[in-house]
A and B are shown apart, each in its own frame.
Chain A
Amino acid sequence: MHFRKLSRQEVNIDSKGCDCKTGTDPDIASIVKEVVEATGREKDKVIQILQEVQKKLNYLPSEALKEICRVTEITPGQISGVSTFYNQFRHLPVGKHTIKICAGTACHVKGSQLISEAFKRDLKIDEYTSTSPDDLFSIEEVACLGCCTLAPVVQIDGKTYGHVKPTQAQEIISDFLLTHKEEIHLNDDNKGNDFDAEVRIGLGSCCVAGGSKEILGRLFELREEYDLNIKLKAVGCVGVCNQTPLLEIITKTNAHSRYTNVRKEQVEDILLKHIKPKSLNKKLKYRINDLADTFIFDGKLNSPVNIPIESREKFLNNFLSRQVRIATYNSGILSPVSLDEYLLLDGFEALRKCVHLYDPESIIEMILKSGLRGRGGAGFPTGEKWKIFSGDSGAPKYVVCNGDEGDPGAFMDRMLLESFPFRIIEGMLIAGFSTGATEGIFYIRAEYPLAVSRVNNALKLCYEKGIIGDKVFNSGFSFNIRVFEGAGAFVCGEETALIASLEGKRGTPHLRPPYPAEVGFMGKPTLVNNVETLSLVPWIINNGAEAFSTIGTEKSKGTKVFALAGKIAKGGLIEVPMGITIKDIVEKIGNGVGEGRTFKAVQIGGPSGGCIPASMSDTAIDYEELTRMGAMMGSGGLVVLDDTDCMVDVTKYFLTFTHKQSCGKCTFCRVGTKHMLEIITRLSEGKADPKEIDVLEKLCNEVKSGSLCGLGKTAPNPVITGLKYFREEFEAHAKGYCPAKKCRDLIRYEINDNCTGCTKCFQECPVNAIAFKPYEKHIIDQSLCTKCDNCRVVCPDNAVEIVNIRDAAKD
């Protein structure tokens, strides 16, 4: 993300920077009435009603809650329980703009905590409030924004800033205030069909965060300006999230040229290199501009058009060539908003075959044979699930697509929903047809607004074409699909909790059996499948079970989509065959860790998974192998850690997450994880007794076997693997020593003899812990230092170093 660089003095944050209107007191009763009329009065509508009311009022005042209870069937107890259970609902007003600071795994290891502190400091938000004194900004730490490759990420309203440094807080706020009202119109009006070229730009969330909307806006401008006959096409995620925005130009001769990390000012050069304006004076105009630019900007020499194609696309090919595309088939080609194009590229062909040629049993047989297993984490064979479900005679029967991807550090489902909504719909329809279900529900978390709107759009188009609804493709099969927005609770990824949430209850799981396939949504049989699982189905139907089962290992077939992020040179969204080794992913696809760093471990499976050390990176990725290692496939987050990452810190991070996300129903998860967190916290502060490590280990095993649902049963995994592979680090902490120099209470900042006295650290220190001493070695006043890391970031001479307090004491 690029924004205007401002000096500290120039930045002046106050409400003058924003002239948005302050809302007048809205008439709560009429707003509630309007919402209820649209959604319905039933008890199970409570989440939708609260979401809509909050959208209009910015928060949920108690008058609104009372009013909802008055006019609907919802009771006071229910509304209180639900509105306090889900993260999305607020009972206090927030600032005009919300700053969301991503606390996902990738962002955490890249220092999101420091970013959060920097924003709070600059906005004068203390630890008890979350809104700035002028009511302009509110800060919210969110579990994961799903832009892991741009970590650390900050999102202000809809605008995302990636690769943020703690020293940039003020600049970002100013940039936002200056630019947040610039609207870019994305009218998809490609009239005609004989284009000189097709220009594709990725519009997944990562790409948008990387600035691809601005690029697209610029493309529209240029097309107008030079009167170019080109087709501008927004495509879904290509997976190369670290190189966003990605621009691809396909000329009439079918020559593909790809440009990565495109900046707005480069678009003109790139475009006009491949496509020549028609009229002479337009050509001339460009020439003159170009010439003038060459004189004015040195940057012109670095323009991407001057870089040879081999080096430009080398990494890209390395990144893409090792992948196998099934769930992400046709990525970078398919437009996520065009049904016609999906149909043109054999979309819904599998569904057509199913409803006209195959009988349901043979489809289930085919899925069974393919060896497809649930991609949500546990890996239950999908065919078997379908078979059990199809045997249920109850009606109506539901198919639910589980898109409540809450793992910090994972964004596969988001990308699939955003980029391939039609494929997932097709998968759901096939599941419905073969199991005798009649209604489908997409459960998508509310933090993914783009995914929600893409799926809604896709559903609308499918209804218009008769693909969903009565008599699908003029067959006897009828199926309806709707979208349900989750309200922010990680535990709702568990299928029984998800169903409770759909019914408008607190998302607490219950013991299985009964499985949802027997007693599910509204007490009716319900099939819950993960987004990725459903997206693999059409391919299997089209290409046959054998084609799928030849990919992968003996027990884990096909491909798996991973979100590769963390301390990796080239992160992104990858789809790889099962059985690929961790080493191949990290070194070959991801191009290794950063320069000068060593690869330490990979965290796989998020809060339910574990850390696998670099020494075991020959492990082939499949369900059984990962479980054997103590980790878990999970939904597919892969966060790479290097030697600067502390295992105690990472473990503490995951435990903090699961402990916050626990529903609080069963004793082991509610109280046990809290005890585990307390011990880990004491360890990270150097206050724990070495004996407590054994206590912790015992507790882990008890929580694992004593918890009710998958969340609690897997919550100790990060600790268990941490202790299994990195026990010496835990022991070092018990002695007050953090080997990776990460745990704040055990380290301090010092300035060494490299210091040239440039005073930059003095300028950036927010607490005046460094005195102004030009041309002299600076000194940090330890009593004032808050360890915000600013000085280390700005120091041009690597003079600021982090030392362990214990080492410093020895000197």
Chain B
Amino acid sequence: MQLKIDNKEIYAREGETILEAAARTGISIPTMCHRDGIEHYSSCMVCMVREKKTGSFIPSCSALVREGMEIDASGAEVISIRKRAVELLLSEHRAECEAPCRVVCPAGYNIPKMNRFLASGKISEAIELALSEIITPEIKCITCPGYCENACRRKKVDIPISIRNIQLFVSRNIKSDNSSDNTEVRNDLNKLFSSRIGRLDDSELREWLKECTDPGARFSDINDFQSAGSEAQSCMHCDCRASNDCALREIAQEFSIKDPVGKLIYAPIAKKINQKTGLIFENAKCIKCGLCVRVCEDSKDEPALCFMHRGFISIISEPLIEEFNNILATQAEKCIEICPTGALSRFK
């Protein structure tokens, strides 16, 4: 069967979706709620295309090809409606892509990730991370006034994590011959799209930019990986675990969208943690695409995630009659893997 996508003549098979036909010819259409091999659902509407004859917009992930169809997959109108879909999704996405410490770090070190490695005793991974980040001959923390520690959320509770000390300690463990001649500047976080929960308070911002004068009780004595690990345990993991692997962030970046002001509030920000499998679920990051529901089989022996309620207040949740600890005993990895955002992640 013959059709046109962006004025390109395409032959497609009966029963194929527009998305599939387009992909075969190298026309890429963004999508978030669709994965090959899983029954389509058409929820995110980011894959919108326009049928030229009728002028109507259709989700290409579930719309089937028809003889003589003319599809507009990249026109201004199409891009505008896709952008709007992403903006709407972001408007209920109450989450932060990056932790404050990393945002303010002049070198852009992935501090929360380092803390997670150390806290769980993954020493070689920690060293590797340091190695990849420390591009210049020596670590920046030596001369840095410690913005990260000012920004650390732990400071609001008690005292900030001794970030600089941890980083310095890890950097000392890098064998000097390992340092590559990487002169490329780090990926500038400020240019990346970043979602925020609320508007950044002026006073908070000022705090971040101040030089650290209060070294805190934890500042000294990190001399071995054990003490580094126990210090790192206090990290509150303010970042999103999917910050490098988030379809929503990528697409927002691609469309140069700004994080919307005035987010809609419904889904709770709280994290649900499954103590048995380490599965973490954050409703406020969920785009309700239902991939996790569709990919896992729900059974009496192993209950899975499900949709609950209807409309704007619909959420993904454990079943009413089950505890979060008892779900997805064997399938947790599968749904973390498929989640397009950081709503489902693993405690590492």
Chain A residues with CB under 8 Å of chain B are: 62, 65-66, 69-70, 75-81, 83-85, 91, 489, 491, 506, 510-511, 513-514, 659-668, 670-675, 678, 702, 705-706, 708
Query: In the complex, which residues of chain A have a beta carbon less than 8 angstroms from the beta carbon of B59?
Result: 511, 708
Q: B138-146, B172-180, B212-220, B316-324: which one contacts chain A?
A: B316-324
Interface status of B199 (Cβ within 8 A of chain A): no
Question: Across the interface, do A659 and B320 meet the contact criterion of CB distance under 8 Å?
Answer: no
B: interface residue count bin: 35 or more
Tell me the bound Cα distance from A66 to B326 in angstroms.
14
Interface status of B58 (Cβ within 8 A of chain A): yes
Q: Within the complex, what minimum Cβ distance (angstroms) separates A47 from chain B?
A: 14
Q: Given known contacts A79-B319, A511-B42, is B84 in contact with A702 (CB within 8 Å)?
A: yes
Q: Within the complex, what minimum Cβ distance (angstroms) separates A681 from chain B?
A: 12
Q: Given known contacts A510-B62, A672-B88, is B320 in contact with A76 (CB within 8 Å)?
A: yes
Question: Across the interface, do A80 and B64 meet the contact criterion of CB distance under 8 Å?
Answer: no
Q: Within the complex, what minimum Cβ distance (angstroms) separates A472 from chain B?
A: 37
Question: Across the interface, do A702 and B81 meet the contact criterion of CB distance under 8 Å?
Answer: yes
B48, B56, B288, B311: residue with the most chain A Cβ atoms closer than 10 Å:
B311
Question: Across the interface, do A675 and B88 meet the contact criterion of CB distance under 8 Å?
Answer: yes
Instruction: Beyond the given A664-B307, A675-B91, A706-B45, please list 9 additional residue pairs across the A-B interface where CB-CB is below 8 A.
Output: A77-B298, A506-B307, A510-B42, A663-B311, A665-B42, A666-B45, A667-B88, A678-B264, A705-B56
Tell me the bound Cα distance from A69 to B8 in angstroms.
52
The count of A-to-B residue pairs whose CB atoms sit within 8 angstroms is 137
Tell me the bound Cα distance from A674 to B91 in angstroms.
11
Question: Across the interface, do B88 and A671 meet the contact criterion of CB distance under 8 Å?
Answer: yes
Instruction: Name the CB-closest residue of A to B44.
Output: A667
The one of B264, B308, B313 that contacts A81, using a Cβ cutoff of 8 Å: B308
Question: Across the interface, do B298 and A78 meet the contact criterion of CB distance under 8 Å?
Answer: yes
Query: In the complex, which residues of chain B have a beta carbon less than 8 angstroms from the beta carbon of A85?
Result: 307, 309-310
Q: Within the complex, what minimum Cβ distance (angstroms) separates A128 from chain B?
A: 16
Q: Within the complex, what minimum Cβ distance (angstroms) separates A164 from chain B?
A: 29
Interface status of B291 (Cβ within 8 A of chain A): no
Query: In the complex, which residues of chain A have a beta carbon less than 8 angstroms from the beta carbon of B44?
Result: 666-667
Tell me what chain A mostly uses at the interface: helix, strand, loop, or mixed.
helix
B44, B85, B321: residue with the most chain A Cβ atoms closer than 10 Å:
B321
Query: In the complex, which residues of chain A have a beta carbon less than 8 angstroms from the beta carbon of B43?
Result: 665-667
Chain B residues with CB under 8 Å of chain A are: 41-46, 48, 56-59, 62-64, 81, 84-85, 88-89, 91-92, 264, 287-288, 293, 298-300, 303-314, 317, 319-322
Query: In the complex, which residues of chain A have a beta carbon less than 8 angstroms from the beta carbon of B41?
Result: 510, 665
Question: Across the interface, do A77 and B88 meet the contact criterion of CB distance under 8 Å?
Answer: no
Tell me what chain B mostly uses at the interface: helix, strand, loop, or mixed.
loop
Tell me the bound Cα distance from A209 to B206 in angstroms.
66
Instruction: Name the CB-closest residue of A to B77.
Output: A705
Q: Within the complex, what minimum Cβ distance (angstroms) separates A630 from chain B?
A: 17
Q: List 8 A-B contacts (CB under 8 A).
A: A66-B321, A76-B306, A80-B308, A81-B307, A663-B310, A665-B42, A706-B48, A708-B42
Q: Given known contacts A77-B303, A666-B42, is B58 in contact with A511 (CB within 8 Å)?
A: yes
Q: Within the complex, what minimum Cβ distance (angstroms) separates B268 from chain A?
A: 16
Q: Given known contacts A76-B300, A77-B319, A511-B59, is B88 in contact with A668 (CB within 8 Å)?
A: yes
Q: Given known contacts A81-B308, A671-B89, A675-B91, is B45 in contact with A708 (CB within 8 Å)?
A: yes
Question: Across the interface, do A661 and B319 meet the contact criterion of CB distance under 8 Å?
Answer: no
Q: Within the complex, what minimum Cβ distance (angstroms) separates A700 from chain B?
A: 12
Tell me the bound Cα distance from A312 to B313 in angstroms.
52
Query: In the complex, which residues of chain B have a beta carbon less than 8 angstroms from the beta carbon of A664?
Result: 288, 307, 309-314
Question: Across the interface, do B264 and A671 meet the contact criterion of CB distance under 8 Å?
Answer: yes
Instruction: Name the CB-closest residue of A to B262.
Output: A678
Instruction: Name the CB-closest residue of B to A712.
Output: B45
Question: Across the interface, do B310 and A77 meet the contact criterion of CB distance under 8 Å?
Answer: no
Question: Across the interface, do B310 and A80 meet the contact criterion of CB distance under 8 Å?
Answer: no
Instruction: Name the CB-closest residue of A to B92.
Output: A671
Question: Across the interface, do B320 and A673 meet the contact criterion of CB distance under 8 Å?
Answer: no
Tell me the bound Cα distance from A585 to B20 in angstroms.
52
Tell me the bound Cα distance from A81 to B319 in angstroms.
8
Instruction: Name the CB-closest residue of A to B63.
Output: A511
Tell me the bound Cα distance from A91 to B305 in angstroms.
19
Q: Within the complex, what minimum Cβ distance (angstroms) separates A658 from chain B?
A: 9
Q: Given known contacts A83-B320, A510-B42, A706-B45, is B298 in contact with A76 (CB within 8 Å)?
A: yes
Q: Within the complex, what minimum Cβ distance (angstroms) separates B319 from chain A?
A: 4
Q: Within the complex, what minimum Cβ distance (angstroms) separates A53 from chain B?
A: 14
For the complex of A and B, the 5 pairs showing the least CB-CB separation, nearest first, are A77-B306, A664-B314, A76-B319, A77-B298, A662-B311
The one of B48, B91, B321 that contacts A80, using a Cβ cutoff of 8 Å: B321
Question: Across the interface, do A674 and B306 meet the contact criterion of CB distance under 8 Å?
Answer: no
Question: Across the interface, do A80 and B42 meet the contact criterion of CB distance under 8 Å?
Answer: no
Query: In the complex, which residues of chain B have a beta carbon less than 8 angstroms from the beta carbon of A77?
Result: 293, 298, 303-306, 319
